[in-house]
Structure 1
Amino acid sequence: MQVVKRIGVGSAAKVYGLTLGLLGIFIGIIYAVMFSLIGGLGDGLPLSDSGGLGIAMLIIIPIFYGVVGFIFGALGAVVYNFVAKKFGGLEIELSEPNHMPAD
């Protein structure tokens, strides 16, 4: 068994930030489509001018998710490092890949 003693705070923050930023792109697309459809329904509705809001969601949501992911990735690594120092790290079992002999 191998033990993960410590997680790099900057590394975890980058990975979480980029992961949630990419997720934010997909969620932003969903919001953009929804608001654009609502905007096309008609003029008399309260949300009929929300087409521009859908485009803004394509920009705002990925940035927001990326920043939140960066912050929580860093916090998660700090908490993990504290707990791992006090109580021991996460145990993982690693194995060598199966090498097929060349014919």
Structure 2
Amino acid sequence: MFSYYPMKIGDHVTIGERSVVQAAQIGSYVQIGKDCVIGRFVIIKDCCKIEDNTVIPPNAVVPSFSVYRGSPGKVVDELPESIQEVMEAKTKDHYAKFIPNTETR
């Protein structure tokens, strides 16, 4: 029998190239690096960074304001409380590149 569980992704989330994400939930203001593997039913809380080439095993919970690295991923650092504003500005700047400039028409 096959069960379908929808993935919930918050606001201002970036996912790097070639990453495989099978998480149940990704909070807001999360950065997932390149070539990462996020296992089934993982919960990533708000304001986290998963560095390049990190593997998060199934059913893990990544706490808020943490930086994960390695295989399997482990906490290696903490993020400042200002990370929310930094991530929001970064994602808005990135997506602004895809909005056509109406002044040149």
- TM-score calculated relative to the size of structure 2: 0.29
Give the structure with the larger strand fraction.
Answer: 2
| Greater radius of gyration (CA) | 1
- TM-score calculated relative to the size of structure 1: 0.30
**Greater relative contact order, per chain length (Cα 8 Å cut-off, separation 6+):** 1
